[in-house]
Amino acid sequence: MCGRFNLTASEDELKTHFRLTQLSGLESSYNIPPGQQILSIIQPDGEACQAVWLYWGLVPFWSKNPKISHSLFNARAESVAEKPSFRTAFRQRRCLIPATGFYEWQTTDSGKQAYHICRRDHGLFAFAGLWDCNDASGQALYTCTVITTEATALMAPIHQRMPVIIPKENYERWLDKHASPEQLKVLLANPAYQDMMAVPISDRVNNPVHNDRQCLL
Domain architecture of the chain: domains with CATH:
5-216 (3.90.1680.10)
pLDDT, residue 86, reads 98
Residues found in the chain: 217
Partnered with residue 51 across adjacent β-strands are 41
Question: Residue 46's pLDDT is what?
Answer: 72
Distance CA 89, CA 17 (A): 24
Grouping H, G, I as helix, E, B as strand and the rest as coil, residue 136 is: coil
Strands of 101-108's sheet in order across: 29-32, 5-7, 101-108, 111-119, 196-200
Catalytic residue ranges: 2, 104
The CA-atom distances, in angstroms, between 154 and each of 23, 158, 167 are 33, 8, 18
Q: Tens-of-pLDDT digits for all 217 residues of the chain? A: 799 999 999 999 999 999 999 998 899 999 999 999 999 999 987 788 999 999 999 999 999 999 999 999 999 999 999 999 999 999 999 999 999 999 999 999 989 999 999 999 999 999 999 999 999 999 999 999 999 999 999 999 999 999 999 999 999 999 999 999 999 999 999 999 989 999 999 999 999 999 999 999 9
Q: Which residues contact 100 (CB under 8 A, 6 or more apart)?
A: 6, 7, 8, 9, 118, 119, 122, 123, 124, 125
Q: How many CA atoms lie within 13 A of 8 on its CB side?
A: 17
pLDDT at 67: 96
Contact 118, 199 (CB under 8 A): yes
102 class by beta-carbon count within 10 Å (0-12 exposed, 13-18 middle, 19+ buried): buried
pLDDT score recorded for residue 12: 96
pLDDT of residue 118: 98
Question: What gap in Å lies between CA 89 and CA 91, rounded to an integer?
Answer: 5
Instruction: State how far the Cα of 197 lies from the Cα of 117, in Å rounded to an integer.
Output: 6
Q: How far, in Å, CA of 93 to CA of 69, rounded?
A: 17
Check residue 107 and report its DSSP letter.
E
Q: What is the pLDDT of residue 45?
A: 78
Residue 40: partners with Cβ closer than 8 Å, 6 or more residues away: 51, 52, 53, 54, 95, 96, 97, 98, 129, 131, 144
**3-class state of residue 154 by DSSP:** coil
Q: What's the pTM value of the predicted model, to 2 decimals?
A: 0.97
